[in-house]
Structure formats: C-alpha cells, structure tokens
Amino acid sequence: MKSILVTGGAGFIGSHTCLVLLENGLDIFVIDSFINSSQISIEKVCLVLKNVNVDVESKIHLIKGDIKVKSDIEKVFQISQKLNKKIEAVIHFAGLKSVSDSILEPISYWENNVLGTINLCRTMEKFDCKNLVFSSSATVYKAKSNRLLNENDLCEPINPYGHTKLTVERILHHLFNSKKSEWRIACLRYFNPVGAHESGYIGENPLGKIYNIYPQITRVAMGKQSEIKIFGSDWQTKDGTGVRDYIHVMDLAEGHLSALIYLTEEKPQFITINLGTGIGTSVLEFIRIFEKVNNVEVPFSFENRRIGDNASVVADNSLAKSILNWLPTRNIEDICKDGWNWQLKNPNGY
C-alpha cells in the first residue's frame, strides 16, 4: 500500500490521520471542500513533519473538491494516475457531523453523507480501488446505559445524522455482498473523539456553534465562555452526570492506519469496529481532571437533561484490540493536556 485517498482530510480527525499516514511513509491525496475546515490544517500537518525532518512536499496532494460532485472525485483519481501513484485505498471522513444541524437541514445531511458516499463508491469502482475505511459513529447504536456497547448491539439512530451514518454502513454492506471477492470495507464506529496532537500544531477547530462538551471546556478555561452548562445531574451514573467514552484523536488516527493494514492483509470482507477506550468518564470528572491537569478553573452550572442524551455511552473495544493490533495509549489526562496546549497555541483557531 503506497497511496491513499483521504476524503475530508483537512478536518479534525482527517488532519490527525493524515499526519499518521505521512509519518508511516504513505503518499496521500486529500479531497476537501473546506465546508468545515481550511487548508491551514494541512499546512500545519506539513509543519509538524518538517520539524522532525520528514520530507512531505512530494507526498501530499491537496485538492479542493466536493464529494457531492462525482467529477471532483474522478479528478483526484486522474491526478493520481498522471503521477503514477495509483490510489489503493480510501479513508472516508468527508461528511457533515452536527446532530442539531441534521435536524434543521436533513436534506443537506442525506445529500452530503449518503449521496457523497455513493459518488465515492462509483468512482472507486471505476478506478478499480476497492479498499475503504468509513467514518461511522457510536450514534448509530440504540444506547444501553447499563453495559458496554459492542458491534452486534441493536442499531437505532434517533436523529437524521445517525440515520445517514447507518444508511451508509448498509449501502457499503450491500456493495460488499454484491462483489464479495473484491471489496474490503471497514466501518469504524467512533465514540467521542477529543484532544489534539501533542505538538499543539493541529487540533479541533470548530466553525459555527459549538455543542460538544470538550471544545466548550477549553473555551470556558480560556475565558471565552462564562461557564459549562451540565445537562442533567440525575442520570443513573457514578455522580449523576452523563458518562462518555472520550478517545484521544491521535489514538483514533492510529486506529485508521491499523484498520487499513488489517484490511489489506486479510481476505475481502465487510466489518464494523468500535473505536473507543472502553473507559467511561462523567462530565464532572472530565471538568475536574481538566482543571487539575492544566491548573485552570472551569465554572459550571446544572441544566435540565438534553433531549436525545443518554446516561452512559461506552465502547466494548475488544474487537478492535484483538484484530487490529491496536490499543488506545493516551488517557483522559493526556486528552486534557494536549487539547489545552492546542488551545493556548491557537487561541483563535487556525
């Protein structure tokens, strides 16, 4: 495996994954419309690598394009052919990811996440590239608060975003079934990706309104927001606040490389794999750890529960650990330290 296409590679998880792929000697083609990112993240990825004397200039090809437009994807494959660098696999991050926006703009979500993926698969077939890693989400599960979620648990999304992710998983499964000897497809169900690369050069750079807890914690610590509103203090959890499985974005990025290696070494298959730590952290614990590790204050107050929330969402990650030869190695303290480092070095984002 030498050349990989990364859709949405300028985004949060994509940029960290590009870094890991380049560090491991792969050539990458990135297609991104920059609807939720900018090319600066890729420039920063290159800077990180130059600082450790990795030559990236000839290894990364960034193309502005929209996966809703099939000819944009075809263009990338054509460029790769001209350069004599056949794209052998795709890591597919491009998509819209806000639960609330998906309720307000469902058609945009179906168009982007589902139509975009269909365009991608058609183009991959055309260029005889049949190795695919897809960004799915734990949001596809019907949450079960009393135990860890495993890949065989019932899927029953409750918002349009989750439905688009599950629909794509099903389309990919049907595609595999139609040509079982050809496709290798892994759907990675992420739990809660947070943190930043330890250099502080790249991190999460949310554009628009922020709903997720972690970017809000760093904003409050920066004094850009007065407090965290904790949604519910009466959940059936260790301290009454919601429990989630927060995974360091670099562990997640490394999981993608492991998934690529696994896919290409094994027989053709379709597989769904949880990427989480298996460890639950409550909102209160998260805030307290962030305060302690970074010696800052994060004021909070309690609000009513948020509609659609669950008490606890934590991964059973035994499948990933057993087949991918992958282990998350960074803990919640590292998440707090690295995310804060990124925030301090980039107070206004990219």
Nearer Cβ to ligand UD1 (161/326)? 161
Residue 7's nearest CA partner among 49, 83, 84, 70 is: 70
Binding-site string for ligand NAD from residue 119 to residue 138, where x marks contact by CB under 6 A and - marks none: ----------------x-x-
| Contact with ligand NAD (CB under 6 A) among 127, 141, 176, 190 | 190
Q: Choose the binding region for ligand NAD from 65-73, 79-87, 218-226, 260-268 (rule: CB under 6 A).
A: 65-73
CA atoms in the 13 A half-sphere facing the CB of 247: 28
The answer to whether 61 touches 35, Cβ cutoff 8 Å, is: no
From the list ligand UD1, ligand NAD, none, pick the one residue 342 interacts with, judged by a Cβ distance below 5 to 8 Å according to partner type. none
Binding of residue 8 to ligand NAD (CB under 6 A)? yes
| Contact with ligand UD1 (CB under 6 A) among 44, 92, 97, 330 | 97
Site for ligand UD1 in 218-277 (CB under 6 A): 228-231, 242, 244
Binding of residue 193 to ligand NAD (CB under 6 A)? yes
Binding of residue 122 to ligand UD1 (CB under 6 A)? no
Measured CA to CA, the distance from residue 45 to residue 48 in angstroms comes to: 5
Nearer Cβ to ligand NAD (13/196)? 13
Measured CA to CA, the distance from residue 233 to residue 241 in angstroms comes to: 5
| Contact with ligand NAD (CB under 6 A) among 87, 95, 117, 201 | 95
Residue 277's nearest CA partner among 333, 337, 241, 320 is: 320
List C-alpha distances in Å: 264 to 63, 184, 294, 315: 25, 7, 41, 25
Using H for helix, E for strand and C for coil, what is the string for 121-160?
HHHHHHCCCCEEEEEEEHHHECCCCCCCECCCCCECCCCH
Q: Choose the binding region for ligand UD1 from 69-77, 209-217, 262-270, 337-345 (rule: CB under 6 A).
A: 209-217
Site for ligand UD1 in 145-204 (CB under 6 A): 192
From the list ligand UD1, ligand NAD, none, pick the one residue 68 interacts with, judged by a Cβ distance below 5 to 8 Å according to partner type. ligand NAD
The answer to whether 278 touches 246, Cβ cutoff 8 Å, is: no
Using H for helix, E for strand and C for coil, what is the string for 303-332?
ECCCCCCCCEECECCHHHHHHCCCCCCCCH
Strand partners, 146: none
350: annotated active-site residue: no
The token duo for 296 is 């800052």
Binding of residue 137 to ligand UD1 (CB under 6 A)? yes
Nearer Cβ to ligand UD1 (44/244)? 244
Residue 10's nearest CA partner among 18, 20, 2 is: 18
Q: Which of 109, 141, 161, 201 is catalytic?
A: 161
| Contact with ligand UD1 (CB under 6 A) among 213, 271, 320, 332 | 213
Binding of residue 216 to ligand UD1 (CB under 6 A)? yes
DSSP 8-state assignment for residue 48: H
Binding-site string for ligand UD1 from residue 288 to residue 327, where x marks contact by CB under 6 A and - marks none: ------------------x-xx---x--------------
The footprint of ligand UD1 (CB under 6 A) covers 97, 99, 137, 139, 192, 211-213, 216, 228-231, 242, 244, 283, 306, 308-309, 313
